[in-house]
Each structure stands twice: as structure tokens, then as C-alpha cells.
Amino acid sequence: MAETDLKIPVIEEQIKIEKSIIETGKIQISKHITEHDELINIPLLHEEHVIEHININVFVDDLPVTRYEGDTMIIPVLKEVVVKRILLVEEIRITKKTVQTNEQQSVTLKAQEVTISRVPLNNNKI
């Protein structure tokens, strides 16, 4: 008997994976700026000086000098009189005060708002 070759086919399965991008929709992002006025208080500082004339009319032996008592500067005003004595006529007192006032001012403030919306495509295929 003749030996015949027996052939057995061997089958192998293979897989091929491919990816593709399918557009299913879009989004639209928009922003706009809004403005609104707001009233704010602004504290402001300024200095004022109060000037007082204080009559003294006292004879002194030595010349007085300008001096300070707290925030008050005292400046002696002198006058020579006929008797050749020095008469302290008056003192001028200058007091510094800090005054705070509030001023209202309108300012414009801006804000951004963002809107996101989905825009579907006409041919949605999956």
C-alpha cells in the first residue's frame, strides 16, 4: 500500500482592531462682559489747623521760646514797652487735627459670564 500524504489544513484566526474618530456633536463656548455701577465709600483724611490767640499780657524776664504741648505748637508773641520790660502779649496756639470724611463714589465693575451649549450634528452615527 502506498502511503499517501494526508494534509490537514491549519486555520488561524487573527483580529485586526482599528479605531476611528466619529464626531457626534460640538460644543459652543461664548462669553460676554457685563458692567454694573456700584456705590462705594472711600475714607479720606486731611489735616486742619485751629489757630487761637490767647491774650497773656504778662511781663517776663527771659525771652520765651516756641514750644509744643501735644499736637499744639505755642508761639510766643512779644512786644517791648516803654519801661523796657518785656511784655508777653499773647500766645498763638496752632493745633493740628486729623479729620476723616467719607466720600461716596460710583465705580463701574466688569464681570465675565461664560455660556457652554452643545450643538448636535445632523448625521449622528455610532
Q: In the chain, what are the domain boundaries?
A: 33-120
How does the average pLDDT of the chain come out, rounded?
85
- Hey, which of 24-28, 50-54, 116-120 has the most confident mean pLDDT? 50-54
Q: What's the distance, CA 38 to chain centroid?
A: 14
- In the 8-state DSSP scheme, what is residue 62? S
Amino acid at 116: I
Cell reading at 87: 511784655
What is the C-alpha end-to-end distance of the chain, expressed in Å? Answer: 62
pLDDT band at 8 (very low <50, low <70, confident <90, very high): confident
Contact (Cβ atoms closer than 8 angstroms) between residue 45 and residue 98: yes
Mean pLDDT value of segment 43-62: 90
Mean pLDDT value of segment 36-54: 90
pLDDT at 112 over 70: yes
Whole-model pTM: value is 0.42
Distance CA 114, CA 22 (A): 27
Smallest CA-to-CA distance from 94 within 116, 120, 76, 107 is with 76
Residue carrying C-alpha cell 509744643: 68
pLDDT at 2 over 70: no
Distance CA 59, CA 76 (A): 12
60-107 pLDDT, tens per residue? 888 999 999 998 999 999 988 777 778 888 998 988 998 888 888 888
